[in-house]
Structure formats: structure tokens, C-alpha cells
């Protein structure tokens, strides 16, 4: 292959529903920030949701152009996406929207995009088991098998969602450089004394995260450990229901729904004494990696893959049953690690963001080389004929 072609600038576009404050979106921003100077790969973003999300401005700051192709009306979406891709002439279309990546890969193939990526960030779609949903999943997986030529996943459990024969793992990574701007204790800001033991949960207020179960277990755990307090960081559609349940359980003042925060790293170091995650399912939860990077003892559901247990000594895994309350009450007796030591352990386990962009673009380059070789072979055959 002509060496000058491999050095030419390359363009990728990453398709999300929105740039909300989820784990995949947070990882993507870190991925953009990790690009080395002079990188020949650009990365734009296409959003399907009319609500773009709070990370849009940060993505622009990191050099991404933000494009929009609203999903609705659904009947015209494939045509509109095809038209956008034909006009922009990207080398890679990278779908981050789980099974709907089948439609995106088909539109990208029709537009002549050489690399079409289906990327799974979760181990379930959370949409139930109706006949219609079964047919949708089967159809999308068939489309991905036909039109996607690169499958990626954050974990082995997530990889199974795609239904592809060959899926490459691309675990999430964190910026593990020391944070120089951390403040001291933040407990007083929430009206708590320094002797309070704060359990922290980070995640959107969505059924997947199982916050209602956490509230019930927390209320029971305080019978054994009255110092416990609970801070839930995130926003979502379940906030009114959770606020009502907090009042019903008599937990006003003991549980804080902080909403969306831009200082999660500071909360992990200056507010939380332990990290909890009772999720019903996950792909590879970034928040759990962040909790370990802060050196926090963690209690997580047994639904979470052990691929995320970067520092096993910090992790307690338990079934989502009545035993969770006792496990919460026991967290003050668990040892915390110094953040510096915890970060080094995560780095050793391969969870640094430093090398993720190189690994991703190496996958792109591999598929591009195959596509270009196939084009050259076809041209040679045509000329010989």
C-alpha cells in the first residue's frame, strides 16, 4: 500500500443519542482529551436526540464538530443519515447506541463509509422481553452482522449484546494523573458532621441503577450503624419518585439527591467514605472504576462483571437481597486505600486512558487497510479483464 495514504488525515464520526453524563459519554470525552498532538484522526459527533446533553460544549472544546440527525421521524432517519454521511465523507462511522447500530451501519455502508463500527456499552438494553422487542433485537443483530465490519465492547457481557462473531474489547480508562485541585471535606456543604460515614452512589436516576432498593437497604442499615448517610449523584426521570420514597422512609436530611455534578472527582475524595452500586445490570461501569481510583471500599451488586474489579481488595459483591442492609452497615469497618496507591493499581490493571486512543485508531486502521486492499485488488481484476 502507498505509504502516503496511511499518513493522510482521517475522519471519524461518533454517533450517540445525546452527550449526557453517562459512563460511555464520560469515557468518550476522556478519549478525546487523550489524543496525542498531531494525531491524524479527527473525531466528530452526531446526536440523535433533540436534547444534546451537557457534555456538548466540552466536546467542542476538544475539537469535535457537533452534527445532528434526529431519530424522529423514524421512517426517514436512514435516508437522512445516509445523506449526511455522503456529504461529509467520513472514513469511520462509530455507533455508540447499542442495537440501533444495525440501522446506522446499514446507512453508512450505503453511503460508502469503509469502516462501520458497532460498539456495545451495556450488557442489556433494559427494554423487556416482548415479542416486538425480540424481533427488533434479532433484526438489528442481523443488520450488524451484514453491514458492521468492526465490533467493539467495553466488557465480555456487553460484547454478547451485539451478536457478532468477532468483537474486540476496549475497556474504559480513566485519567489517572494526580488531581491537584481537590478541596478538603465536603460533608458540611450537605449539612453533615465530620463523623458521618457517607455512602456515595453515582449514576442517572433510572431503573437500571436500582436506587429504590438502595434506599430501602440504607434505611434498614441505619438500625445497626446510625452514622450512615447517603449521597446519590445524578439526575433522571425517577427523581420525584425517589424524593417521595425518601420522605416516606423518614430519611430527610440523611439522604441527599445532589443532582448532576461537575465535580464528581472531588466528591469521591472529599465527601464519600464508601462507594455503592446496586445496579441491575452494567457494561463496565466507569463510576465504579472512579470509586476504586479514589481508594474507596465498594459494595456492588452481583450483577456487575468482575472485569470492573480492578482492585479486588476494595470490592464487596453481594446479591440484591435482604443481606445488603447488613453489608452497608459493615462498610465503616472496611479499609480505604490511599488514592496514589489505588491509581497505580488501576494503571497496572490496564485502566489508564493514556493508550486508549491509539488502540482505537489501530482498530480503525486495520479495517481500512483491508478495505483499501480489497479496492486495489478489485481495480487490478478490472484492469486485467
94: left (phi over 0), alpha (psi -120 to 50) or beta: beta
Q: Which of 280, 268, 250, 259 is nearest to 339 (CA)?
A: 268
200: left (phi over 0), alpha (psi -120 to 50) or beta: beta
Overall average pLDDT of the 54-73 stretch? 96
Mean pLDDT over each residue of the chain, to the nearest integer? 92
Block residue for cell numbers 451478536: 163
Q: How far, in Å, CA of 100 to CA of 137, rounded?
A: 9
298 sits in which H/E element: strand 298-301
Task: Report the pLDDT value the prediction gives residue 385, as an integer from 0 to 100.
Answer: 45
Question: Domain residue spans in the chain?
Answer: 3-173+353-384, 187-348
Overall average pLDDT of the 246-264 stretch? 94
The CATH code of domain 187-348 reads 3.40.50.2000
Please give the CATH superfamily to which domain 3-173+353-384 belongs: Glycogen Phosphorylase B; (3.40.50.2000)
Quick check: do 3-173+353-384 and 187-348 share a fold?
A: yes
**C-alpha cell at position 40:** 491524524
pLDDT band of residue 7 (cuts 50, 70, 90) is low
Q: What is the pLDDT of residues 219-254, one digit of tens each?
A: 999 999 999 999 999 999 999 999 999 999 999 999
CB 92 within 8 A of CB 117: yes
Q: What is the pLDDT of residues 96-138, one digit of tens each?
A: 999 999 999 999 999 999 999 999 999 999 888 899 999 999 9
pLDDT band of residue 180 (cuts 50, 70, 90) is low
Amino acid at each position: 500500500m502507498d505509504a502516503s495514504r496511511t499518513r493522510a488525515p482521517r475522519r471519524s464520526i461518533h454517533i450517540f443519542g445525546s452527550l449526557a453524563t453517562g459512563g460511555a459519554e464520560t469515557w468518550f470525552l476522556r478519549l478525546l482529551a487523550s489524543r496525542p498532538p498531531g494525531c491524524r484522526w479527527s473525531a466528530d459527533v452526531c446526536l440523535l436526540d433533540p436534547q444534546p446533553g451537557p457534555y456538548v460544549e466540552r466536546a467542542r472544546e476538544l475539537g469535535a464538530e457537533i452534527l445532528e440527525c434526529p431519530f424522529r421521524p423514524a421512517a426517514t432517519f436512514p435516508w437522512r443519515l445516509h445523506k449526511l454521511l455522503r456529504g461529509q465523507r467520513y472514513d469511520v462511522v462509530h455507533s455508540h447506541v447499542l442495537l440501533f447500530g444495525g440501522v446506522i451501519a446499514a446507512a453508512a455502508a450505503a453511503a460508502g463509509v469503509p469502516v462501520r463500527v458497532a460498539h456495545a456499552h451495556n450488557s442489556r438494553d433494559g427494554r423487556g422481553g416482548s415479542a416486538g422487542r425480540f424481533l427488533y433485537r434479532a433484526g438489528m443483530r442481523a443488520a450488524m452482522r451484514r453491514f458492521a465490519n468492526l465490533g467493539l465492547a467495553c466488557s465480555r457481557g456487553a460484547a454478547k449484546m451485539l451478536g457478532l462473531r468477532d468483537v474486540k474489547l476496549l475497556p474504559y480508562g480513566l485519567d489517572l494523573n494526580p488531581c491537584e485541585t481537590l478541596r478538603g471535606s465536603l460533608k458540611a456543604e450537605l449539612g453533615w458532621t465530620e463523623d458521618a460515614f457517607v455512602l456515595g452512589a453515582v449514576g442517572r436516576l433510572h431503573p437500571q441503577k436500582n436506587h429504590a432498593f438502595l434506599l430501602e437497604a440504607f434505611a434498614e442499615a441505619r438500625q445497626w450503624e446510625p452514622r450512615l448517610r447517603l449521597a446519590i449523584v445524578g439526575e433522571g426521570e425517577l427523581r420525584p419518585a425517589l424524593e417521595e420514597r425518601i420522605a416516606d422512609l423518614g430519611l430527610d436530611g440523611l439522604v441527599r439527591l445532589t443532582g448532576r455534578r461537575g465535580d464528581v472527582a472531588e466528591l469521591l475524595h472529599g465527601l464519600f467514605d464508601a462507594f455503592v452500586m446496586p445496579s441491575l445490570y452494567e457494561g463496565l461501569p466507569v463510576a465504579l472504576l472512579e470509586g476504586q481510583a479514589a481508594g474507596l471500599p465498594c459494595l456492588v451488586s452481583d450483577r456487575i462483571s468482575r472485569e470492573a474489579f480492578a482492585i479486588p481488595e476494595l470490592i464487596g459483591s453481594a446479591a440484591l437481597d435482604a443481606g445488603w442492609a447488613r453489608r452497608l452497615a459493615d462498610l465503616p469497618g472496611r479499609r480505604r486505600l490511599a488514592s496514589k496507591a489505588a491509581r497505580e493499581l488501576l494503571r497496572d490493571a490496564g485502566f489508564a486512558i493514556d493508550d486508549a486512543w491509539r488502540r482505537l485508531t489501530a482498530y480503525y486502521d486495520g479495517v481500512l487497510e483491508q478495505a483499501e486492499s480489497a479496492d486495489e485488488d478489485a481495480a487490478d481484476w478490472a484492469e486485467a479483464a
